Chain A
């Protein structure tokens, strides 16, 4: 073999990724050619240097713990005995929302529009349960609130209700009613509550109470914001959660 043939194979030869027939030929060429030998040596010392000296970044115990917690909270959905077919329900809800949207041009009265919006919030909640995780995981409202900076054209009010039994778990950016929203996530025992927040400005509002597929949805206005809380929590408990938020 000539140098021109051997040089392109030096990397593969070092990585032991060359076919055995050529390996012998490359090897014997290197033994007799000082230029190829030098190049090969340099490749080897580069590899040795990387393997010996490149810092291997290890996951912190905090990250290890966060991953475990996240996995565990995702698994809960699979075990939910109240809604064993949550995938099916999710698909049905998504299908229903899609049909509703597809027929929207034919249904133009306000009531239906407001119902549609209610369904969109519900779909957003279900989507989040099925797949999309929290973008910011923190029980500290001083962490969650600034996280939205630059991601939304407004700054949503964020309160923790841990001492009242509804700890803040985090938040994400979501989308419903043709605009981006802040979604704040709270928990109550094993239930999850999504609170969607957007400025009121010229927007139609969903009905104050909406119920579907075992989900409850409560909407209200406070200050410049429209809030919608969605959860599989029972109406009474969700209502008391909403009262807490309203009075904070």
Chain B
């Protein structure tokens, strides 16, 4: 196969996953600029490793590379990221008065902040499960831990989120959100 065809194949397979890659990178690095660096590096790694891609679902394969890149990046930039971990956008009021915010908006902001405050392995499990809707097995493969660990991370992450939301928005939160 010619190099052009290989690149076209790669792009056809993986460019549709760019949003998923960016979303995970954004939630892991908690910073848009760093997330862009991580995404770009991950795509180049994926491209170089493409001959090792044995078909199957593209997204878990790409996200495996992406989260490894993100964690390496976080380790290498720990001093910097420790400061970046405090996501100012989420903590500083953006000028909207609380009264003007609907309950849903308030809850969405609280959710985002609570997810952002989770430890990174919990955060990753939540993103992969709830936003990418991946199975435990897929999450286990991506994150390199046993399926049982995925299960316990998810339940602990959810318990923390529920606690955090209750604290942020008040008790009524979950009751109002429940589907009836």
Residues of B within 8 A of A10 (CB): 155
| Total contacting residues, chain B, CB less than 8 A | 49
Give B59 Cβ to nearest chain A Cβ, in Å: 14
B44–A133 touching, CB < 8 Å? yes
Give B17 Cβ to nearest chain A Cβ, in Å: 10
A209 beta carbon closer than 8 Å to chain B: no
Interface of A is mostly: helix
Give A77 Cβ to nearest chain B Cβ, in Å: 9
B56 beta carbon closer than 8 Å to chain A: no
A-B residue pair count with CB separations less than 8 angstroms: 125
Quick one: given A8-B155, A12-B151, A74-B48, are A56 and B7 in contact (CB under 8 Å)?
A: no
| Total contacting residues, chain A, CB less than 8 A | 40
Q: What are 22 pairs between A and B in contact, CB < 8 Å?
A: A11-B155, A12-B151, A46-B158, A46-B174, A49-B107, A49-B111, A49-B165, A50-B126, A51-B131, A54-B112, A55-B112, A57-B35, A59-B18, A67-B40, A71-B7, A71-B43, A72-B7, A75-B3, A75-B7, A75-B47, A78-B6, A79-B3
- Mark B residues whose CB is within 8 Å of A: 3-4, 6-7, 10-11, 15, 18-19, 21-23, 26-27, 32, 35-36, 39-41, 43-44, 47-48, 104, 107-108, 111-112, 115, 126, 129-131, 135-136, 151, 154-155, 158, 161-162, 165, 173-175, 177-179
- Mark A residues whose CB is within 8 Å of B: 8, 10-12, 15, 17, 41-51, 53-60, 63-64, 66-68, 70-72, 74-75, 78-79, 131, 133, 137
